Amino acid sequence: MRYFGIIGYPLGHSFSPAYFNGKFQNLGIQAEYLTYPIDHLDAFPELIKLKEFSGMNVTIPYKESIIPYLDALDISASEVGAVNTIKFDAGKTTGYNTDIWGFEQSLTNWIPDFRTLSGALVLGSGGASKAVVYVLQRLRIPYLVIGRKAGKNVDLIYAELTHDILEKHNLIINTTPLGMYPLTQTKPDIPYEFINEKYFLYDLVYNPEKSLFLGVGLEKGCTIKNGIEMLNLQAEFAWKIWNTIEI
Q: Which residue type sits at 240?
A: K
DSSP 215: H
Question: Active-site residue among 63, 87, 130, 225?
Answer: 63
- If 0-12 CB within 10 Å is exposed, 13-18 middle and 19+ buried, where does residue 98 land? buried
Rounded to whole angstroms, the Cα distance separating 26 from 99 reads 24
Burial of 157 (0-12, 13-18, 19+ CB in 10 A): middle
At 83, which amino acid appears? V
| Nearest CA among 174, 201, 188 for reference residue 111 | 201
Verify cis geometry, omega within 30 degrees of 0, for the bond prior to 188.
no
Q: How many CB atoms lie within 10 A of CB 187?
A: 22
Q: For residue 152, which of 85, 64, 68, 66 has the smallest C-alpha distance?
A: 64
Among this protein's residues, is 149 annotated catalytic?
no
Return d(Cα 236, Cα 240) in angstroms, integer. Answer: 6
Which active-site residues does the annotation give?
A: 63
